[in-house]
Amino acid sequence: MTGSIEGSLKGIPSNLIALTATMPAEPETAYLNADNVTVSTRVLTAVEQAARSVDGVVAPPPIPVVITTVPGVESGYSDSDNNYTILEGVEYLATGTCAIPAQSFRVPFVRTDTGRKVYMRAVVAAEGAFVLYLNLPTKGEWYTDTDQLNSELPQPLFIIDKQVFKVM
C-alpha cells in the first residue's frame, strides 16, 4: 500500500485490513416488506460481523418494532408521523407489529424535560401483532426510541423509529 491509502489506514489492525481487502463487494438488494419497512438482503462483512459481536457471539439483526395505529389520539393538532397528541390519565392501545414469539415486555418512555423514565406494557401475540398499553402519567412530551427500547437488554434486540407523545 502506498500514498494516501496507507496514511488513512494507520491505527487499524493489519489483520482487519487484509480481511477487508480480500472480501468481494456484496450487492445490496433493498425492498419494502408487508409493513412498508425497508429490509436489506446485504450480507454483513466480517468486519461488520465483528463489530456486532460480544465475546465472539454475533448479534442477530435488529427486530423492527412498528407502531401502526394509536386510536383515540386528539385531532386538530399538527402531528406528523410518529408524533401523537394524547390526554393525561387516559389509556390508549397502540397497535403494530413485532416479529418475536408471543410474550410481554416493557417499553421505556422518557420525559424530554426531566429525563424521568416510565414503563408501558407491550404484549405480542403469536402472529407478531402487538398492543402497547399507554397511560403516560403527567403532561409533557414523552418519547421512546431504539436506544430506550434496548436500554435494559443485555444485547440490543430491537429497532424502532422515534415515537413522540405530547400529553395534555
Digit-coded pLDDT (tens) for 120-149: 999 999 889 999 999 999 999 999 999 999
Domains of the chain: 3-58 (no CATH), 63-167 (2.60.40)
**Interior angle at CA 89, CA 84 and CA 92, nearest 5:** 45
| Other residues' Cβ atoms within 10 Å of the Cβ of residue 86 | 22
Q: Whole-angstrom Cα distance, residue 71 to residue 95?
A: 9
Residue 81 has pLDDT above 50, yes or no: yes
pTM summary value:
0.65
Q: What percent of the chain has pLDDT over 70?
A: 65
Q: What percent of the chain has pLDDT over 90?
A: 55
Q: Whole-angstrom Cα distance, residue 159 to residue 61?
A: 9
Q: Find, among 97, 99, 159, the residue nearest to 130 by Cα.
A: 97
Pairing of strands 163-167, 83-86: parallel
Residue 107 has pLDDT above 50, yes or no: yes
Residue 110 has pLDDT above 60, yes or no: yes
Average confidence score pLDDT of the chain? 78
Q: Find, among 137, 86, 89, 81, the residue nearest to 110 by Cα.
A: 137
Q: How confident is the model at residue 78 (pLDDT cuts 50, 70, 90)?
A: confident
The x, y and z cell numbers of residue 129, run together, are: 401483532
